[in-house]
Structure 1
């Protein structure tokens, strides 16, 4: 058999779908289809009709539609009828019905189905209806495997990109938190803080961390290091010595040859016994847009003493102390020659054994052990205009942590996280000022405050929130709570939490009992300050 074309047409000879299997031009096809209605007449019930050149094999369908095969006259009529019956099953199976609109909508699918029944040249394939369905679906096991491999590669690449993006975001957030706490100038653009919440204080003009104190090369004892001075006007620093620049440091006892002991040099550099700029430089003003502090006034006393303690704390999310260490130092600055001849007396006999004390190697250790007196060996005076550390102490018990934080982020299941935080003062003997609890939010969206004790600020660029108390002591704000919600679904985004504060009360009960002249024993006027602050206070 040779099938010239297969068509689905109307009774008037209008072709809805027509497929040619031999080379035929359009005019001939249209002529053959136009002649078909005239040949079948109105009363004939035959399934084929012949002309001088071709044979029409047809089957009436529903809605005045016909399935028509145009074959050569030499074609086997039995095979033609079998082909016609198979195509009559294919058409409704592919089009989903015998309506004209269904045939038009599935025209290409019907052409593909005709190609499965008849090959190029018009020869019938030995194929069943189920095989035609399978071929039309083009279901290939190899293709499925290839697609599965491609999908797995895309999923792996997407997961790797998400992992790297998360790592970069966490690194960026860690840098922002470090800058946020330490007061360093950010390298990128810094967002502006939104207005105060809770306490209702007016919003400060300027952006978050917009202002920083200018770095000065002056002794550390003159500085009142306060990186958490948010929400208050900056205080004037203690009187400082005239600015003296020294690159190589000075030696006590005149010039001398020989190589310095490496341990001695390291300790001297750490405590600045041989002069030079202070260890940290001038502290940056955390400020929340506070104005820059005015220049420090000239020293008004022969001697300046600073007792400074810093605490490092790592806490769990439930409020338990995992690690705690306190380090303190007594810094001395001789502003004049009178101050250089000072002898410092401390209450050594009353200091608890739980604190470990160590004098600088240049200090007369025997005088300190026997009498609690701090002075340089050989009766030498302290260098003028330099800050020197003469006594250090440390403490490592967990009870030193002054604040505990209990943080509970809960996923509400609606694309938001509800965060409940409790703060409690655990050291009732301390008075803490400018307490700032810094929380990463994992989003730039503003938190929706449900309830709050104290005040808060939000930095959308850093994605952080600052919970602030002016004063925390046994009588004022010894505990507080904060509850808010933010968009998200990751409770881990709120850690680590960092705490900053300052206090004029030390954990160590050390006292300066006397400051006298080494020669005459006369009292020397002095200015003394005490500072206690965190070096690192983190809840992870």
Structure 2
């Protein structure tokens, strides 16, 4: 037989998908399919219809579609019907719902499958299962290559972290020995002044570097420069700031200007490559009303593990000190009774082992509540209209003392074209003129820095300062669940492991 084309069309003859196996124009195939409905006889069951040169072999797909094969009249009708049956078996494997939208969505998958059935107009000797395998194009060699590359990247990342720590330790030793030059100096500024569109409170112990205001002589020593291009970069950055651009440095000095640096919104792994690598990740979505009520709070967390050694028959000892009412669930392959009775994560069959070099989800938890006592960080806004504009006081308070929040950014909307006059603040304040936001940045909020405030005056109405958005990252999770130990199933021998914990904000909004 010579198969000209295979198509899926509507009852009106409109083509949804068509694959031509011989040279045919689009206009020609559309004209043939448009004539197909007029050739059918109503009230009779047919499997094919013919014209002077074309034979249509068809079968209904669902209620609104047809699977149609276009062949020559001298083809074998029995082979045509067998080929049609194979096409009809393959389509549901890619489109469980036989509808127009579903066919369009998986059109390329179906075309690849059609090419496995017919080549140059002649049918191939294949089964639906073989077609599905061929189109998936699974390669064991490719999978092994990707696994090897992931291991190499992980090893390179661990070496980089180790080298960074060595350099950091060397800088500390150099500073203690008095060989390190002082790069930054502090200058005090009067309350409410704006320095290069970025304001830093001198009384705050944890803050970003301060640039002296224009017109004031600076007594700070100059740091060593390799060439004069550094001065050009500084001048260019100052010009951008004067034009209202927001410049966020890649690294920000922490803890009073010491050499301890932390990259923005990035939590480094807690250790080098170990036999077992654990990842504890939590995300929070929170919406509060401006009067302090909690509209909704949802916290999602999970623990994943990756085993990198062959002896991977292990158990994880969990320390569960949760008192907030989290709902914990283990993976279906984990022994739920063992976890409930002994707080141990192990496989249902102790003889089985964890997959090698693959991220495996072990445990997840969820909390959804409207109890405002569970809010980790409360933000309160006190706007009041006065004679010279609107006086606004923003306050924050850490309610969960065990948390340490890093890189906290509180974004406050302000009216367009009006600059706020800031009188008092903790941390760092910055007016983003393009986005009309007042960015209140706090490097760290913990048990030693649990509360703070920001006061400013601006022309506007109380409703102009909402919604307030908050973002932060933390290396401590909100749900007090930790992996304390990893052991082998046989003999309770300890296994070296590393753990990376992150607690981030998906949405934190005060409406």
TM-score by length of 2: 0.47
Which is richer in strand? 2
Larger Rg: 1
Return the TM-score normalized by structure 1: 0.45
